[in-house]
Amino acid sequence: MAVETAWVGRLVSREHKREDTVISVGKATIGGPHLTVIAGPCAVESREQVLNAARLVKAAGATILRGGAFKPRTSPYSFQGLGKEGLAYLAEAGQKTGLPVVSEVIEAGDVPLVSQYVDILQIGSRNMQNYALLRRVGKSSRPVLLKRGLAATMEEWLLAAEYIMDAGNPAIILCERGIRTYETATRNTLDLGAVPVVKALSHLPIIVDPSHATGNSAYVLPLAKAALGAGADGLMVEVHPCPRQALCDGDQSLSPEEFKELMDQVRRLSGALGRGVVKP
Ligand code: PEP
Ligand code: MN
């Protein structure tokens, strides 16, 4: 296959490194035998909201807490996030629950600031080909969660990871979050084929975000299970203490009860897949 030949020698390729990359963050691991579940609100909205979210996702068994402080919104009039204040609330929620935290960085100049508060730097779909940002997080000592661009091929996505690794950072987690297609019934089209293909081409761990892939909380559970069945190393799921009141992505956010159900089913499935969920 042409794409595979082109991959020989690349730092992210299987040819370069045969064994799966396993990334450890606090008590969580991403890649390897265990599944990881990153959960939390789309955006940090207040101290109370993110503390509540952290407690409930931890109680249900999530291993890492998510929450956006710098939000790259499609409309300039939508809620843009709390910025530095949001990072402080997220870090506090992480400390109180013992969960490592991940948050998005949208500008190269913000990498030092965001790195002070988070354990994992997230590069969002809209920034997957922001090469200055990729090089900057490549110089960071924090692991990077790299989301697939909304119209990126797998090769473009892996080459974006190559930028980060070439700049010096080998700790990269790939995240499939759906791509733009002609289909409008779901927010994006979840490309589960990416999971086995990326695993064949690369040693990096890959997780799946069924929330942004579907835009609808009703479809999150079935696609979460399908993702794990396809071989994903974990999930990233949006959860809100009260989705109807969410300032961002409420339609796709799971309620506390729905997230508990998802975790129950993930645990059952992980037994069948021979992959436990790491306890935080
Ligand atoms: C997010 O995970 O907060 C997000 C903005 O997702 P994406 O970059 O996949 O759209
Ligand atoms: Mn979101």
pLDDT tens digits along 155-194? 999 999 999 999 999 999 999 999 999 999 999 999 999 9
The CA 127 to ligand 1 mean position distance, Å, reads 10
What residues line ligand 1, using a CB cutoff of 6 Å?
42, 68, 104, 124-126, 147, 177, 212
Give whole-number Cα distances, 28 to 89, 223, 268, in Å. 20, 23, 19
Render pLDDT for 54-93 as a digit per residue (tens, 0 to 9): 999 999 999 999 999 999 999 999 999 999 999 999 999 9
Closest CA to ligand 1's atom 6: 124
Render pLDDT for 238-271 as a digit per residue (tens, 0 to 9): 999 999 999 999 999 999 999 999 999 999 999 9
Q: Tell whether the model's pLDDT for residue 5 goes beyond 70.
A: no
Contact predicate 173/23, CB 8 Å? yes
DSSP codes joined into one string, 204-267: S-EEE-HHHHHS-GGGHHHHHHHHHHTT-SEEEEEB-SSGGG-SS-GGGPBPHHHHHHHHHHHH
Counting from 1 in the atom list of ligand 1, the atom nearest the Cα of 71 is 5
The CA 44 to ligand 2 mean position distance, Å, reads 11
CA–CA distance, 84 with 176 (Å, rounded to integer): 27
123 pairs with which residues across the strands? 146
The pTM assigned to this predicted structure is 0.97
Contact predicate 184/156, CB 8 Å? no
Task: Say how many C-beta atoms besides its own lie within 10 A of residue 161's C-beta.
Answer: 25
Closest CA to ligand 1's atom 3: 42
**Which tokens is 76 given?**
């300039």
The CA 57 to ligand 1 mean position distance, Å, reads 19
Render pLDDT for 103-114 as a digit per residue (tens, 0 to 9): 999 999 999 999
Counting from 1 in the atom list of ligand 1, the atom nearest the Cα of 147 is 9
The CA 277 to ligand 1 mean position distance, Å, reads 23
Contact predicate 249/238, CB 8 Å? yes
